[in-house]
Amino acid sequence: MYRIYFNQRCLAVCSPKHAALSEPDAVIYSPEIHPPLAELARYFDQTPTLEKLYISTEDKPGTIARITSDLTPITAAGGIVTNKKGEYLIIFHHGVWDFPKGMQEPDEEIGNTAIREVEEECGVHDLKILNYLSDTFHTYHRNGLFYLKTTHWYLMEYQGNGTETHPQQEEEIERAIWVPARELPTYLDTSYPAIRYLYQRALSTT
């Protein structure tokens, strides 16, 4: 399932056989009721009473492309970083606990973007990408434009020995800390839905 987040709400693009479609309260996209796919993102954005809308399709990438065709794309990358103690690196940014991430620079390979952003936001170096984890999608408005931000996430390992961090103050990052895996829910259960999904994926992978 692909989820496109609108703050706490989301469009969920899934296969016709996905179990969520059989839930009693599931709201499923219908072309007889809802606007065409190319207009769906703006419709959903302007309909706050809809918490989640499922779009059932055999062509999930193509469907996402049609839904987001009217949005301005932004590409970013980030890291879910563990150390030798099995702790995870998280940041406190704009009042929310999060994972480090940031925008891709021109001609930059996306894995290098993820490493650079972790280094810059946390002051932690000697990082190694273990594997790709997932992509997340979320929308936002800025300067009259409607953006779709796609963030590519990687599992990383900090190969150093220290635990010192240096939060990037110019990006308003207040704290960067290492926390044991068992404590991640304490910090992240009040974070963004995509971040909660990511840490659950990371814990099931590592």
- 48 and 141 housed in the same domain: no
Q: Which helix (H) or strand (E) holds 120?
A: helix 110-122
At 102 the pLDDT is 97
- 63 and 83 housed in the same domain: no
- 60 and 76 housed in the same domain: no
- 63 and 141 housed in the same domain: no
Q: Which helix (H) or strand (E) holds 184?
A: helix 184-188
At 199 the pLDDT is 87
> How many whole angstroms separate alpha carbon 191 and alpha carbon 52?
18
Nearest to 171 by CA among 111, 103, 80: 103
Domain boundary among 15, 43, 67: 67
- 88 and 30 housed in the same domain: no
DSSP category for residue 181: G
- 167 and 145 housed in the same domain: yes
At 114 the pLDDT is 98
Are 11 and 66 in contact by the 8 Å Cβ rule? The answer is no
Q: Which domain holds residue 146?
A: 72-205
- 170 and 112 housed in the same domain: yes
- 54 and 90 housed in the same domain: no
> Is the pTM value of this prediction over 0.85?
yes
Residues lower than pLDDT 70 in the chain:
206
At 206 the pLDDT is 64
CATH, residue 201 = 3.90.79.10
- 48 and 80 housed in the same domain: no
- 140 and 101 housed in the same domain: yes
At 175 the pLDDT is 97
- 63 and 146 housed in the same domain: no
